[in-house]
Amino acid sequence: MAATRVITAASATTSCFLAKRAFVLPAKRSCGGGALCFSRRAFVLKSKRPFSCSAIYNPQVKVKEEGQPETLDYRVFFLDGSGKKVSPWHDIPLTLGDGVYNFIVEIPKESKAKMEVATDEDFTPIKQDTKKGKLRYYPYNINWNYGLLPQTWEDPSQANAEVEGAFGDNDPVDVVEIGETQRKIGEVLKIKPLAALAMIDEGELDWKIVAISLDDPKAHLVNDVDDVEKHFPGTLTAIRDWFRDYKIPDGKPANRFGLGDKPANKEYALKIIHETNESWAKLVKRSVDPGDLSLF
């Protein structure tokens, strides 16, 4: 029996991606808590008119569950105000302005079913990942809300010179939300990014943006990587270690991390978001080959 629930998504917007503005290639400087910090240097992107595409204008979006959880047929679809299916990856805006971003929950904290947006299916619903026809689970619970930034894409044809020349993993950018509340699959949260971890998974670059929901009681206390260490002590190390080690019980090698094995600061995280948003814009304009990816 399909169920429908209403979740708050985004305020109205007409832009599908971040307008280009002056960004800088950061230079390393020391930072408290063993994190990588970056100071501004002259690296400017040329301004261009922003690409526009259809995005959700209604401030609410519904999710509709089809099939039973923890089955191969289970899907969580997103519906606009008129009841039409939309893509959580392509149609929910990335940014709301003033440093606020939308985050779509795929995996609630303290759960282990490996849920993900089906990037190769029409309307990119959330489903449980499979391997050899079997549902996938993490070996233990993930301790944070986990999901994606809409309208971002890690381009598998682009090597990142700052992270060992690793190529993108062909997915939207992942978010680790550190707030205290366990969220629901398909929930759309307003977040602020705080840090970034450059995970390298079997040679592919898989960014983890550490963020916090604006409605969390501690949200006003944290604005950058140092604040996370101060108000959520040990969390950044725990996130890195969790993602480094979760494949080991299955007999696979540990994942690695670039950028000196340390979290980068907020400014660097915003740079990554900006770059992957640009990559997504090229993808939906078909300036690059989408392969098997669904663009609607």
Residues assigned a catalytic role: 138
The residue behind tokens 């519904």 is 62
Indicate the helix (H) or strand (E) that contains 74. Answer: none
Residue in 209, 212, 208, 259 with CA at minimum distance from that of residue 231: 212
| Token output for 217 | 């009681």
Query: What is the rounded CA–CA span in Å between residue 93 and residue 26?
Result: 27
Indicate the helix (H) or strand (E) that contains 90. Answer: none
| C-alpha distances out from residue 55 to 12, 51, 291, Å | 9, 12, 23
Length reported for the chain = 296
Beta strands in 178-265 (DSSP E): 188-201, 204-213, 256-257
Contact 67, 294 (CB under 8 A): no
Residue in 36, 29, 100, 28 with CA at minimum distance from that of residue 229: 36
Query: What is the rounded CA–CA span in Å between residue 103 and residue 211?
Result: 9
Query: What is the rounded CA–CA span in Å between residue 277 and residue 45?
Result: 14
Contact 76, 104 (CB under 8 A): no
Provide the CB-side half-sphere exposure for 261 (13 A, CA): 6
